[in-house]
């Protein structure tokens, strides 16, 4: 019960890494608000699990690439669940194609879903955390901020922005007892891998010392560390559970 009576807001919380974090946080005592995009079945399953533990849960179907929906996500959380003690910016999308084939529309979508939403959802929660002089903000970037990734230039650019944003805000926030940190996971077995050629996936596994992708449940405990009192001395840090592919 490391998060007993806490409230956590998680973007992209219906499945994958976000879903694993939502369930683990609820198991540890937190009430949960999360958003998803047209993922009603998984959202219902996640919400039912959280409710079965006796926790409150709010699930919102929102496209957080717009500022309006970023504001709505937080305002409804405040209204129905309470002020977030913990924020996890996890939602993401990815396009895999050569740099020269990237379009402005795809670039804007990647930046808006990953970086813009992180900035403005955090800003809305931060204002509330300032009132309480307390909070934990956890951003999910990627190990690709260290290694780079061919055919994912806009994704890497957005995740690199999240990495830098984390460090900048951490320096402002720490004096108010608000801790801002970053998780840079390696490849995890999530729906973001759907549609990728199997040979590409097999080749990717071969360069990981553990020779496999992560289960989302192996990433979630890192978020729990940063969200709980166990992570009380982390400030602007980046933790990278990646099976040894990138040692940072």
- Of these residues, 49, 126, 155, 176, which one is catalytic? 155
Angle between helices 153-173 and 117-132 (to 10 degrees): 10
Say if residue 203 is exposed, middle or buried (CB neighbours under 10 Å; 0-12, 13-18, 19+). Answer: exposed
Q: Is 106 within 8 Å of 154 (Cβ atoms)?
A: yes
Establish whether 155 is a catalytic residue: yes
Q: How far apart are CA 154 and CA 100, in angstroms?
A: 11
Question: In the beta sheet, which residues pair with residue 34?
Answer: 10, 59
Q: How far apart are CA 132 and CA 83, in angstroms?
A: 9
Q: What is the DSSP string of 54-84?
A: T--EEEEE--TTSHHHHHHHHHHHHHHT-S-
Task: Cite the active site residues.
Answer: 155
């Amino acid at each position: 019960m490391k998060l007993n009576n806490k409230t956590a807001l998680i973007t992209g919380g219906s499945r994958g890494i976000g879903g694993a974090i939502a369930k683990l946080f609820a198991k540890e005592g937190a009430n949960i608000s999360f958003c998803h995009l047209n993922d009603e079945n998984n959202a219902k399953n996640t919400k039912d699990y959280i409710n079965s533990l006796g926790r409150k849960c709010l699930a919102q179907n929102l496209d957080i690439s717009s500022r309006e929906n970023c504001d709505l996500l937080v305002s409804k959380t405040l209204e129905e669940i309470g002020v977030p003690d913990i924020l996890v910016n996890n939602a993401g999308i990815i396009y895999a194609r050569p740099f020269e084939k990237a379009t402005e529309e795809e670039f804007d979508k990647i930046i808006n879903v990953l970086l813009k939403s992180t900035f403005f959802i955090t800003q809305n929660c931060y204002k509330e955390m300032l009132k309480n002089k307390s909070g934990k903000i956890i951003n999910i970037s990627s190990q690709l901020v260290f290694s780079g990734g061919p055919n994912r230039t806009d994704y890497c650019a957005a995740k690199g922005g999240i990495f830098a944003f984390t460090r900048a805000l951490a320096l402002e926030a720490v004096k108010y007892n608000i801790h801002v940190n970053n998780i840079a996971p390696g490849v995890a077995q999530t729906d973001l891998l759907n549609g990728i050629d199997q040979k590409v996936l097999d080749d990717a596994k071969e360069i990981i010392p553990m020779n496999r992708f992560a289960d989302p449940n192996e990433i979630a405990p890192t978020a729990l560390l940063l969200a709980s009192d166990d992570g009380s001395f982390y400030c602007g840090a980046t933790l990278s559970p990646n099976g040894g592919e990138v040692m940072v």
